[in-house]
């Protein structure tokens, strides 16, 4: 099946720093999604991208849908302690089926 | 508030027993729900697509006789792990779509002793 390559796998940053993570795919997706998962919880949608080249912001979060439709990135500006968690990219196939990246574990030092 | 709810959130069982996990859509009808499995520090892997009133569609490598899925109503899908073994211990998460957006349940952590 399809796989998404998400990097980096983990990040250790200082509070206030900006964060950038990305996903690449060997095939095209029509929709890219970014989720955050806290320990012991299900993923929560952060940003959804529907058009190639689309750049979307949600507060301190910004994500872009790559022109080739095979990649996407997520940026978090001015990180705060509550940003800690695991971030997953996901490409959406037909009928709402999602393929997830491996996740980026974000740790923030106060 | 939550739109998809799972129960139980945690379950511990003995090897050989069967465990049922429920996934409910709250205040909306879901003809399709999805079941994912997540091992520690790993990504979510789609196990099966649950279809109301018909058989579930399983992903390659997922044993349908091991993981029984029933979607008997428009608001409830159940996943039953039959004859559970320690290697079945995992975090099971369901999702359902409303207005084109997928929402995930809180997850159910299964520990098989």
Using one digit for the tens of pLDDT, what is the confidence trace for A51-108?
999 999 999 999 999 999 999 999 999 999 999 999 999 998 766 788 999 999 999 9
Tell me what pLDDT residue A95 has.
Answer: 63
Of A43, A45, A99, the CB nearest to B101: A45
pLDDT at A3 over 80: no
B69/B57 Cα distance (integer angstroms): 9
CA-to-CA dists, residue A72 to A30, A37, B5, B69, angstroms: 12, 18, 29, 33
Distance from CA of A13 to the nearest CA of B (A): 19
Q: What is the pLDDT of residue A61?
A: 97
The partner residue sitting opposite B97, judged by closest CB among A96, A99, A103, is: A96
Pairwise CB contact (< 8 Å): A40 & B107: yes
Compute the radius of gyration of chain A from its Cα atoms: 13
Other beta carbons within 10 Å of A11 = 18
Rounded Cα distance, A46 and A53, in Å = 18
Q: For chain B, which residues score pLDDT lower than 50?
A: none
Q: Are strands A104-109 and A10-14 parallel, antiparallel or unpaired?
A: parallel
User: Which residues in chain B are closer than 8 Å to A35, comparing Cβ atoms?
Assistant: 104
Chain A, 14 to 73: residues with Cβ < 8 Å from chain B are: 33, 35, 40-45, 48
Distance from CA of A51 to the nearest CA of B (A): 15
CA-to-CA distance for B83 and B19, rounded, in angstroms?
8
| The predicted structure's pLDDT at residue B34 | 94
B34 contacts A41? CB cut-off 8 A: no
CB-CB under 8 Å, A45 with B103: yes
Altogether, the residues listed in chain A come to a count of 110
């Amino acid at each position: 099946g399809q796989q998404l390559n998400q990097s980096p796998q983990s990040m250790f940053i200082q509070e206030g720093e900006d964060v950038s993570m990305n996903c690449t795919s060997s095939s095209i997706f029509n929709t890219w999604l970014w989720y955050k998962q806290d320990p012991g919880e299900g993923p929560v949608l952060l940003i959804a991208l529907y058009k190639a080249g689309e750049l979307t912001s949600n507060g301190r979060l910004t994500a872009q849908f790559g022109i080739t439709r095979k990649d996407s990135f997520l940026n978090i500006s001015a990180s705060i302690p509550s940003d800690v968690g695991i971030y997953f990219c996901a490409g959406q196939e037909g009928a709402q089926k999602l393929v997830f990246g491996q996740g980026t574990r974000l740790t923030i030092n106060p | 508030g939550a739109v998809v709810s799972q129960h139980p959130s945690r379950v511990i069982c003995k090897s050989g027993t069967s465990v049922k996990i429920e996934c409910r859509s709250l205040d909306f009808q879901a003809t399709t729900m999805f079941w994912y499995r997540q091992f520690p520090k790993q990504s979510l892997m789609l196990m099966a697509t649950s279809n109301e009133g018909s058989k579930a569609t399983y992903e390659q490598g997922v044993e349908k006789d091991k993981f029984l899925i029933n979607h008997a109503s428009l608001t409830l899908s159940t996943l039953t792990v039959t004859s559970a073994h320690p290697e079945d211990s995992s975090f099971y998460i369901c999702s359902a779509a409303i207005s084109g957006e997928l929402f995930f349940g809180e997850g159910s952590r299964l520990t098989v002793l």
